[in-house]
Amino acid sequence: MKKYHLILVLLTFLFVGFISVDAKASFTVATFADPSNNSSDPLFTVDFTSLTLTGGWSDAKTDLTLQVPHSGNTFSNAWFTTNGPITMTQILPSLPYYNAGAGQIDFYKDGTSTNPLLVINFDSGFVSPYGFGAVFIASNITITGSEITGSLSQEQFSFSFSNTAPLSNGHNGFTATAAFTSSAVPEPATIALLTIGALALLKRKNGK
């Protein structure tokens, strides 16, 4: 019996350790390809004069296919909003790179404006008009919503800008279409507890 207990403990540590290491591998939470073909129908407006970033794809529009590998679901004609302007501050006067403030991005399925599929909250971000690519990325992120199950950690997201066009209101800045991707890792502690619980049940069943 003691030998069995020792084997069970060793298997528990090995199994939990294996899953915890494997759980550190990042996976895609949600993604969409650019739903707009040209700059006349942008998703984002980046205004360096007013130091604001606004974005969204209204429910009245089509062609945004939100894929959520985390849940295994795909939503046609989804839409999203940034819930108002996101403030920006220039990092250095000589460089066109900007820090973004806190914000929230909500994704909805076609024809609804409640029970969001994804809710992305972030504390700060980074906006670049070019360089390594025109992007909007963020840090200190939490992803929740009806399509999220379990606990996530190390959440990340990025909007990759394309089809940029200068603003027509006399301000310095641009509009852009965009593709989106987000990633995370499962919470190792949650997986470890589930593993230990499963092995405890195995021990109870066979430890007669």
Rounded to an integer, what distance in angstroms lies between the CA atom of residue 38 and that of residue 29? Answer: 27
For residue 194, tell me if it sits in a domain. Answer: no
Tell me what pLDDT residue 18 has: 36
For residue 78, tell me if it sits in a domain. Answer: yes
Tell me what pLDDT residue 131 has: 56
Number of domains present in the structure of the chain: 1
Tell me what pLDDT residue 25 has: 81
Do 51 and 45 meet the contact criterion of CB atoms below 8 Å apart?
no
Phi-psi group of 44: left, alpha or beta (phi > 0 → left; psi -120 to 50 → alpha; rest → beta): beta
Q: Which amino acid is at 73?
A: N
Tell me what pLDDT residue 121 has: 97
Share of the chain above pLDDT 70, in %: 77
Tell me what pLDDT residue 186 has: 77
For residue 195, tell me if it sits in a domain. Answer: no
C-alpha torsion sign, points 33, 79, 140, 163: positive
* Nearby residues of 13 by Cβ (< 8 Å), 6 or more positions away: none
Mean pLDDT of 119-130: 93
For residue 206, tell me if it sits in a domain. Answer: no
For residue range 67-117, what is the model confidence (pLDDT) as tens digits?
A: 999 999 999 999 999 999 999 999 998 888 999 999 999 999 999 999 999
Q: Say what the pTM is.
A: 0.78
For residue 64, tell me if it sits in a domain. Answer: yes
Domain that holds residue 68: 28-187
Tell me the β-bridge partners of 32: 180
Rounded to an integer, what distance in angstroms lies between the CA atom of residue 63 and that of residue 28? Answer: 20
For residue 160, tell me if it sits in a domain. Answer: yes
* Residue of 62, 60, 71, 1 whose CA lies nearest to 29: 71
Mean pLDDT of 10-38: 65
For residue 87, tell me if it sits in a domain. Answer: yes
Do 16 and 199 meet the contact criterion of CB atoms below 8 Å apart?
no
For residue 138, tell me if it sits in a domain. Answer: yes
Q: Look-up: residue for tokens 């959520």?
A: 68
